[in-house]
Structure formats: structure tokens, C-alpha cells
Structure 1
Amino acid sequence: MWRIPQNLRNMLTCFRFCKHSIMTICTTKCKLISLSVVIVILLAIGICAVSLCKTVYHHILLKELTISNHSTGYELWKETPIPMYLNVYMFNWTNADEVLKNWTTKPIFQECGPYVFSEHHIRVNLTWNETENTVTYYQKRIWQFQSDLSTGTLQDNITNLNVIAATAAYLVRKKIAPIQEIASFFIDLKEKHLVQTRTVSQWTFEGYEDKLLQLLVKLNISNFNIPESKFGWFYGRNNSEVYDGNFTMYTGVDNIDLLGIINKWNSVSWTGDYTSYCGVVNGTSGELWPPVKKYDKVAIFSPDLCSTIWLSHQTNYSEEIVGMTGKKYIGTDFLFDNGTKYPEQKCFVNDKSFPSGVRDVSACKFGAPAFVSFPHFYLADNYYTDPIVEVRASVQLNLLIEPMRNIHMFKNVKETFVPMLWFSQTTELTETLGRKTKMLLTVPSILTYSGCGLIGIACLLIFVTVYYAYNKVWISHEEERLLSEDT
């Protein structure tokens, strides 16, 4: 049997050892280089994720929340996907006959309801103002009665003040005696009674025909500019695109803190119904908000009040909604103050100053003696509750009646703020939208934690690389493997 000479075997062994050594050195360098590249990449991504977290999040907010033709926020804003409800409570004057005979008797009101209507909002006729980063739009609101959620029906009878008669008398309260007497003649001719009974449907959206109102519309009296011959608190609003007027709103494209802020109503930035800052158009519509984390107060512009209402952050309150902790903003005594406690609120007093707790919105309600307050006259002066008992009643609408010696129907009345109705709007955040919102809110945390995690992994790899390189572990293991193969 042929055998390889010993010297040749030694040469082959040496060659094999050298070959494996060269390959081992190359492999080690490749591993070190590869690990170094990985470490650099992990460090770069991690540092960028941590340092650019706010920038990236701001970019995501601009893309998702701002109002533009390509944003997610635009689709949600154009047609509100969140279920909304209007809860209406009517006040039934149960002892009206007794009070009309003797005004020393305190009026008693029974609260009826809620009468619940689903509410849907659609923005229409949009005009983009690119130079100002605003959008002008009309708002179409659709209501449908929800019998299953309501206490009572639309056919319930409600007795309360004759709104048209009270409005007509209020409009001539400062006129000379002959004009008041003429007004008194027509009021007695057409109205007959200071109180009237109507169904809930008539009081709200359906409306009812009124002979005095029809006469006033025909006479086209400038101070009495109701455009309809029927009256209802919400008459003419359902499905109307123009009733609320047009709004101009910041899109937030150039400044996310302005997102949803309305700066014009009916193309002007001042309502004309109040002086000073009280008449300035400001605040959101109540559905679209800029990030409110840093705000102690938020403003909502209400076309129903022709003014802005301010809500304050309730610091000792938090509530979890769909897995998210929400902030609660409430109305305080500042909201309907008349300058008694907060001098800047005095500009809401248009005509006669009353104790704090109501806002005169007569200029916004076709001259009707309308005043708004919190339900139950909450936070209002006792002046409003002393003449009334058993009012168990979110904004309340009240009508003022006061004695007028030249108007027969109001000759013997006592000055009283009569509660007519109060209503609240509620929304329900859907689980689907809640999950999307929660995901958006967690983006900063995800970026920060991910970045820190990548930096941590990179640091660990640096430690491992240095340790193994220092001890030449890879080469030693390779040599041991080669020797075992030769053996």
C-alpha cells in the first residue's frame, strides 16, 4: 500500500493550518466589521427616534389632524362620524291659571323629558382660503327623534308662556305710550292669552302658526325680523344648510394650535350683538379641537348665542374613555357673569342689568326677551330662583316678562324669568375611533421607548464585541476546531 512520505504529510498539514488561519482571520474581521455596521445603524436609528420624537409626532399630527383634502382629519370633520344626541327638557307651567289671577302666587314648573334627538353634522359648500390657511363652510344639521331613548312623546302637551306675545311686548317696552297701546290692541286681538299649550313637536322642530306672528311678518317691522310665519324653538333648522350661517375656520396647516378655531361668522369677525371682546368671533365649534394639553380654558363659539362661551379645566377630575384618560372642561361662574365678579364680562349687558347668572341673547333671538343660563339657574343669583319653585331642570333658555302698564296683557305681571326649556348635546366616542386616537397618542412613547431600546441593544453589542475581541475567543475556538479535525 502506497503511503505519503512523512515530510509531505507535514507540509500538507502546515498548508491546511495556514489556510484555516487565513480564513479565520478574515472571518473575524468580517464579523467585527458587520457588527460595527449593525451597531452604528442601531445607534443612529435609536438616537434619531429619541431626539426627533417631537418633530416626527408633529409631522404625524399635521398629516392626520389638519384639515386638507388629503388628511384623515378632513374626512372625520366633513361628516362627523361620532354619534351625537340632543336632549331637550321642556318646562310645563302647572299652575298658570292661578298665577294669572294672582301674581303673588309662585309659578310652579314641571320638567318634562328628555326628548332625545339624534344629531348629524355635515359641512357643505366649502371654500378653501389658502393664503390664510382657513376654510369657509356651511353646516347642515339633521335631527331625528329617538323614541326609545326619550321619556315621553312628541305629542306631549306643554303649557308655557306665549312667546310671540312676550316678544311683541318686549320690543315696544321703550316706545311712547300711544305705540304701546296700539301694540296692546293687536296683541289682545290676535293672542288672547299670556300662556298657551302646544305639543313638544310644535314647541321644537315642527313649529306652529301664530296669527300675531303672521301679522308682524306682513307688516315687516324692522325690529321684529323673524323670517317665518311659524314659531318653534328649532323651527326651520332641521336639514337646513344656511340657518346657522357660514363659518371661517383655521385648518391648522401652518399652526396646529389654531386647528378648528373659528375667526369669522357670516364673513365677519365680530357679531355686532355685543360690544368689546364679547362680540368677537372666537373658539371652536365644539367638535374639532387643537391639542388642549396646555390650556386651562377653552372657548366654543355658539351661533345660537351669537357669542363665545368659555370652559375651565377641572383639575381634580379625570375620566377614562376607551382606554384613554380625558380632561374635563366645565362652565364656572365666569361664564354667565354680568361684570359683578369679572369686570370684563360687563360687555354682555346690552340693555338692563340684572343680577349675575344669565346672558342676554335677545339681540341674537330676533328681539325676543331671551336669556340663557345654566340649568336650574346653577351658579346664578337667588334673584332668579326666589320667584319660582319646583324647577328641576347644557344651557337653559328663559324668557323675561315684566309689568307694562300700557299693554293690557302684561299690566299686572311680576318681573320674572320664565324657564322655557333646557338642552344638552352629548357625544359617544366609538371604539374604532377610540383605538385610532389612542394609537396616535401613543406614538411619542412608542418612538421614545423604541429608540431607547435600540440604543440599549447597540450598547450591549459594543460590550460583547469588545469582550470577545479582547479575549480572541473567536480565533481560539476556530483553532480548537481545526486541531480536532486533524486529530
Structure 2
Amino acid sequence: MTVGKDDAAVKWLRPPEVANGVSVRQGAAVGPTPITAPAARLAVSNRRLPAAMASSSACHRGLLAAGAVTLVIGVLAVLLNQQLFDAILDKKLELTPDSDGYGFWHTMPVPIFIKFYFWNVTNAEDVVTNHAKPILQQLGPYVYTEKHLKVNMTWNANDTITYMQVKTWHFEPDLSAGRLDDNITSLNVPLLAAAAMIKDMDYFMKVMFNEMVNNVDTQLFITKTATQLLFDGYDDPLLDAAAVIKYLVNITIPFDKFGWFYSRNGSNYYDGVFNMDTGAEVTQLGRLHYWNNTDKTSAFEAPCNMINGSAGELFHPRRQRDYVEFYSTDICRSLRVPYKEEMSMYGLDGYRFQADEMMFAAPETNPDNWCYCNGECPPAGLLNETLCRFGVPAFVSFPHMLYADPAVLDQTVGQEPNETLHNFNIDLEPLTGVPLAVRARFQINMLLKNNSDVDLLHNVSSVYLPMLWFENTVDTTPDIADQFVTIVQTVPTVMSAGSITLAALGGALLLAGLVLVVLARSRRPQPGEEPLTASSTTSSLSVTDR
């Protein structure tokens, strides 16, 4: 058979059949046929495909896991954010030797001032001879800086601390409206104290007492300087005599001079021994358990004798709009001050707790006050301090007898009560319980009344006569306020934002992982479709070209 030229060309162009990589023509092996470049690349690529797919799947699973874990942590952080913040705050406030709250409590870094105002009786002779109404002149303020330092501290196993306190005062002439050598005329307190001490003695002792009073020329009113009446004290013949006869009769003389704050400056014993809760249970932080080793005071009847509330410097956090309660060693009782209103200071929001007329109200108005009477209830607005002051007829009120019975206020001339100037208030940051500002104001009054046992008091008019009043002021500083702004505002905001960001990041990672998984699955061969491999591709090409 003769083959034409055109037939030969067609046969030359037709690809040879391929079997196992060997070219076969008419049953004869003629050597290997090279695979073209595209086919070679496809074969190599398809050999790498399973490993790449496995790596991609591992990446997707890792992304999903990371997203899920981050989301769970973020959601938990959002849900538990407040509890976490509270736990951190409580730990910082708890009183321990190395806690943040300890440094603040131990030395009180905020400035404390005490302002004294004296009532000068301008018509003392007329009061004695003509029973005139006392005319009063307010002198002061005499301003002192006040420092507190805790000493003799013992940390107890029951989460309390026992300590004593040293208070020191330093006169500030530039802040004062008077001088320490100002003369002030007021009632003779040692005379009233002595008269109270002899009331239960026999007739002979009372006669001796009157003879002694006459011999030393004791007067109903005395004139002393401001510094003598405050911290220095002054000698009095009645005190000297009492120091002698105290061994003959059963009386206690707690001082050798008289001054309202005599022997207190720098003393570590005057304020007594405190036992206070350290706040391991945060709702008990600052709570006073014992004062002078007892949880009761002998100054009042039960239940008014209970020592309740704070020691006056620490208050538990997360305050409510109800009241604050603290124990005052100066007046031997606990004071409950009700919530008044919201306030703000240096960017910090706070709660103001302010005293009202119910604190020293008569039992007819406030039945809870019946046990403060000490046998005879004073008029409204006065607290009977007789047993707190060694039997001296002393009565505490707010300055200018704010909230007092108008009849009592009318016994003197010169007092002008003003709720803004003469009330008692304390401002607390409610989240931490830290004081922002304090205005603690009290007035000491003496009861001058007829006493048949004492010649000088035999024919006097009864009058509640104010002696002095004082104002303790405490104000936080801008620097300290900034620290608490960080604690109560910045930290919670950062923690909340961080929790939300973490949850959002976890959600984003989880969503990205899910999207990648869906895309990867959409690119895989469908059921019944032959996977793309080197052999299948080559075979397909061979069949087609044949």
C-alpha cells in the first residue's frame, strides 16, 4: 500500500498513544515521550495540594479556637467586671500593715483644722447682782492645725487592730481672728464642778467648803486668757484644796489645772484605747468594737450606752443614702447622722450626711433619746453630759444652740443660730467611703442654777450659759482627689472598656474563622466529581487528543 504525502503528515501530527509513559506506534516501543511543561507544573502542584489543605484547615481551627476562647473571656469579664473591681478595691481598703488604706489612716495626710470660738460675758457683774440676762460676745476663731498619729498598735488575730492615738495642735495666728492673750470672761467651771461634788456630802463638809470658798475669794465669773482656757490651763484654789481633801472624801480629781483641752496636746492616753475592725469583711471596715476595753459607756443608760459605729476616720465602702454612725469620745456617745443630699468636690461626687433637730431632740419628739437624760431630761437641743464630765453640769449642743428650745435660746443675748454655719455635716465618697469634707461643730454649755449648798450659787437665776464652741474642718486636697478620681472613675471605665474590647475581639476572630471555613469548604470537589490530580489530568488530555 502506498502512503500519500498528506497521510504521512496527518500521522506525524497525531500524538502517539501513551501507555505508562511509553510511546507506542504499531505495537513497537520507540522510547519515552516527554510530558509537556504545563502538564508537569500541574502534576507538581497537585502533589502539594493535600499538604496545603491540611495546613489551611489547622489555621482555621486555630483561629476558631482563639476567637472562642477570647470571646468567652471577654463575656465573662463583662459579666464579672463589677465583682472583679470590688474585690480589688476591697483589698486596697482593708487595713493591713502594707495596704494603701493603712498609710491614709495612720497619719491622716489631709489637713485638719480646729477653730475655737469663746463666749465672752460682757455684763458679768450685772448678772450676779441684778440677775440680768447674760450678754454674750463671740470671740475668735482661734485656729489650730491638728495632727493625728496612731501609736501602740497591735494587730489581732480576729481581724481587729488595737491602738492609741496622739493628737497635736499648733496655733495658726495668720488664720485666726484673735490672739492667745485675749481676755475672756466666763463662768467659773471649777466652782461648778466642786459644787457638784459636794452635793451628797454631809452638812459639816458643806460648811467647810463654803468657808474655803470665802477664804480664797472665789468668784462666780473669772477672766482668763484664751490660751489658759484652752491648752495651758490655769491654777485654781478650789482645785488645790480638792487635791488635799480627796484623801478624806471619796472624790476623784482628774486634773491639777483647768482648761478645756488641758493636758491633751501630744497626749497618747487622753483619747483612750481603741479596738477597731480592719475590714477583712469590708462592711465592717472601721467599726469600733471596744473603747477603753469595753463596748459600753457609763455616761448614759442602756441602750444609749452602746459604743456603735466607726471610730470617726474610716467608713466602710459602697455607702447608701441612709446614715453614717460614729462614736465620739468627747461626748461619750455614738452619733447617727442622716443622709442629706448629693455633693461634688474636685470632680468627685459624694454624699452629704447632715445632722438635724432629731439628734438632740427631747424624748417627746424623738423617743429614742429617752436614755440620754441621766435622770432629768434637758430642754430640746441639749445633751446632758454630766456623767461624761465627772459630774460637772455640762451640756452639749450645736453652736449658737441651733435646734434648741427657743426658751433656752432666749435666756441669753448674742446667739444667732444659722443652719449653714452651725450644723454638723460629713461628706463621703460613696464607693470608697473616704471622707471628702467634714464640719464637726459642737458647743459646750454650763447650767448655772440655784444651789442652797453653796453660798455663791444660793440666789442665781437658772440659765444654760454657752462657754465655747469648736469646729473641726477636714477637706481633701486636689492631689488626693485626683487619686480617688482614678480609683472610682478611670479604673472602672478602663476595665469596662477592656472587657467589651476583649469580647468584641473574640467575636471578630470567631467570625473570621467561620468565614474562612465556609470559603474553604466551597472550593472543595463536590460529591461524584473526580479530584484534580496529575494522572487524571494527563489521561484526560490523552483521550481528548486521540
The two structures share one fold, judged by TM-score above 0.5: yes
Q: What is the Cα deviation at residue 178 of structure 1?
A: 4.9
1:470 matched to which residue of 2? 518
Amino acid paired to 1:248: N
Local SS of the residue matching 2:96: coil
- Distance of 1:390 and 1:347 partners within structure 2: 31
Aligned equivalent of 2:505, options 446, 449, 457:
457
Query: 2:381 corresponds to which residue?
Result: 357
Does the C-alpha gap of structure 1 residues 261 and 10 become closer, same or farther in structure 2, counting only changes over 3 Å?
same
Question: Judging changes above 3 Å, is the alpha-carbon distance between structure 1 residues 55 and 335 closer, same or farther for their aligned structure 2 residues?
Answer: same
Structure 2 alignment gaps of length 5 or more: 1-32, 418-440, 525-546
Asked if 2 retains the 8 angstrom alpha-carbon contact of 1:340 and 1:356, the reply is: no
Q: Distance in 1 between the 2:175 and 2:48 partners?
A: 84
Q: Residues 96-135 of structure 1: matches in 2 within 5 Å?
A: 96-103=124-131, 105-130=132-157, 132-135=158-161
Equivalent runs, 1:121-200 vs 2, <5 Å: 121-130=148-157, 132-173=158-199, 178-200=204-226
Asked if 1 retains the 8 angstrom alpha-carbon contact of 2:399 and 2:469, the reply is: yes
Counterpart residue identity of residue 133, structure 2: K
Q: 1:141-290 maps to which residues of 2 (within 5 A)?
A: 141-173=167-199, 178-220=204-246, 224-253=251-280, 255-290=281-316
Pair 33,467 (structure 1): closer, same or farther in 2 beyond 3 Å: closer
| Whole-angstrom distance in 1 between the partners of 2:253 and 2:74 | 65
Q: Percent identity?
A: 31
Q: How far has the Cα of 1:292 moved from its partner?
A: 4.9
Question: Residue 88 of structure 2 is aligned with which of 54, 60, 76?
Answer: 60
Contact 2:381/2:403 (<8 A) preserved: yes
Which secondary structure state, in structure 2, belongs to the residue aligned with residue 209 of structure 1? coil
Amino acid at match of 2:81: C
Corresponding position of 1:447: 495
Q: Which residue, 345, 356, 377 being the options, matches 2:401?
A: 377
Distance 2:287 2:446 in 1: 31
Distance (whole Å) between structure 1 residues aligned to residue 523 and residue 223 of structure 2: 100
Which of 452, 459, 472 matches 1:425?
A: 472
2:79 aligned partner: 51
CA distance in 2, matches of 1:155, 1:473: 97
1:90 aligns with 2:128: no
Query: What secondary structure sits across from 1:138 in the alignment?
Result: strand
Shift of 1:462: 3.2
1:4-33 CA distance string (max 9 Å, x none):
x99441134314643775576356434423
CA RMSD of aligned residues (A): 2.5
> Which stretch shows the higher mean deviation, 40-49 or 65-74?
40-49
Asked if structure 1 preserves the Cα contact closer than 8 Å seen for 2:66 and 2:510, the reply is: no
Q: Per-residue deviation at 1:423?
A: 0.8
CA contact (8 A) 1:108 1:391 kept: no
Equivalents in 2 of 1:283, 1:24: separation in Å?
Answer: 72
Which residue in 2 is equivalent to 1:397?
Answer: 444
Q: In the aligned structure 1, how far is the partner of 2:250 from the partner of 2:464?
A: 22
Shift of 1:320: 1.3
Q: Distance in 2 between matches of 1:62 and 1:331?
A: 29
Q: What's the secondary structure of 1:37's corresponding residue?
A: helix
Cα offset, 1:474, TM superposition: 11
CA distance in 1, matches of 2:218, 2:279: 55
Residue among 293, 299, 315 paired with 2:319: 293
Does structure 1 conserve the Cα–Cα contact (< 8 Å) formed by 2:357 and 2:381?
yes
User: Deviations 1:124-170 (Å, cap 9, x if unpaired)?
Assistant: 1112221x221111111111111122111212111111111122123
Give the letter aligned to residue 183 of structure 1: F
Conserved? CA contact 1:191–1:211, under 8 Å: no
Cα distance in 2, alignment partners of residues 113 and 19 from structure 1: 100
Distance 1:229 1:180 in 2: 22
Aligned equivalents of 1:163, 1:376: Cα separation in 2: 20
Listed one character per residue, the Cα deviations across residues 233-261 of structure 1 (whole Å, up to 9, x for unaligned) are 001011111111101111111x1111111
Q: Gapped runs of 5+ residues in structure 1?
A: 477-487
For the 8 Å contact 2:199–2:453, the answer to whether it is kept is: no
Once residues 416 and 176 of structure 1 are traced to their aligned partners in structure 2, the CA distance between those partners, rounded to angstroms, is 27
Task: Give the Cα–Cα distance (whole angstroms) in 1 for the partners of residues 242 and 95 of structure 2.
Answer: 44
C-alpha contact (below 8 Å) 1:122/1:139 kept by paired residues: yes
> How far did residue 472 of structure 1 move?
5.2
Structure 1 residues 296 and 23, CA gap change in structure 2 (3 angstroms)? same
Query: Is residue 65–residue 510 contact of structure 2 (8 Å, CA) maintained in 1?
Result: no
Correspondence 1:402-421 to 2 at 5 A: 402-421=449-468
Counterpart in the other structure of 2:429: none
* CA distance 1:338–1:173, change in 2 (3 Å): farther
Comparing 222-231 with 412-421, greater Cα deviation is found at: 222-231
Q: Distance in 2 between matches of 1:85 and 1:350?
A: 32
Partner of residue 103, structure 2: 75
Note closer, same or farther for the CA distance 1:224–1:174 as it changes in structure 2 (3 Å cut).
closer
* CA-to-aligned-CA distance 1:336-381 (integer Å, 9 cap, x gap): 1242222221111113222221111121112211110111111111
Report the residue type matching 2:510 in the other structure: I
Distance in 1, matches of 2:46 and 2:121, equals: 109
Higher CA-based Rg: 2
Matched position secondary structure for 2:231: coil
